[in-house]
Amino acid sequence: MSIRDAQREAVIERLAGHLLAHGLARTSLRQLAQAAGVSDRMLLYYFADKAEVLAAVMARVAGELSLRLAEAIPDGAPLKPAELVRRAAAFTTGPDMRRFMRLWVEVVAAAARGEAPFSAIVAQVMAGFRHWVDTRLDLPEGADREGTAAAIIAVIDGLALVDICSEDEIAARMAAALSTLLAE
């Protein structure tokens, strides 16, 4: 592996941590370069442009996310929707996963704003979410799997969004309250 490729990998790794820590707040080329410990000149030697940097880093983050989701709720026995939501909610509002979900909300907003690499990233991550739900969802024949999957994802993402702008204490009670809202 060339030095360049090795550096690419190292930069992606460091920037994944950076994005998870700071969201999209510090993502100018110079700020990214500093966080990665290289010069901005070199960042654009390793990557074609800023969009490629962000796309590579977000791909890494998305991979990590799907890995953790798969670990937390494996593809074993399918779960009824309410139970799936409960377990997914408990997981994504956990201390380590919150930064993933926060970043996810920011990325969706960036995509809504039409910023270059994010629309594609959102489509890809969203497809991953759908697939994750689909392989774990126990639904009666004839039910709307796609619609139900979308609804489940909406609930999980909604928790993340409200989590961003609430005190910890209320956020903790939110998941519990949600549980009682769900049918069996």
Using CB under 7 A, list all residues that contact DNA: 2-4, 7, 27-31, 38-42, 44-45, 49-51
CA distance 160 to 165: 9
The partner in contact with residue 131, picked from a second copy, DNA, none with C-beta cut-offs of 5 to 8 angstroms by kind, is none
Alpha helices in 73-181 (DSSP H): 81-92, 98-112, 118-134, 145-164, 168-181
What residues line the site for a second copy (CB under 8 A)? 23-25, 81-82, 85, 102, 105-106, 108-114, 122-123, 126, 143-144, 146-148, 150-159, 161-162, 164-166, 170-171, 173-178, 180-184
The partner in contact with residue 156, picked from a second copy, DNA, none with C-beta cut-offs of 5 to 8 angstroms by kind, is a second copy
Residue 45 vs 74, nearer CB to DNA: 45
Whole-number minimum distance, CB 87 to a second copy, in Å? 14
The partner in contact with residue 29, picked from DNA, a second copy, none with C-beta cut-offs of 5 to 8 angstroms by kind, is DNA
Residue 9 vs 40, nearer CB to DNA: 40
First to last CA, the chain: 53
Q: How many CB atoms lie within 10 A of CB 23?
A: 17
CA-to-CA dists, residue 48 to 41, 44, 76, 150, angstroms: 11, 6, 41, 35
Residue 24 vs 161, nearer CB to DNA: 24
Amino acid at 105: V
CA distance 61 to 89: 19
CA distance 153 to 159: 10
Amino acid at 102: R
Residue 44 vs 175, nearer CB to a second copy: 175
Residue 29 vs 139, nearer CB to DNA: 29
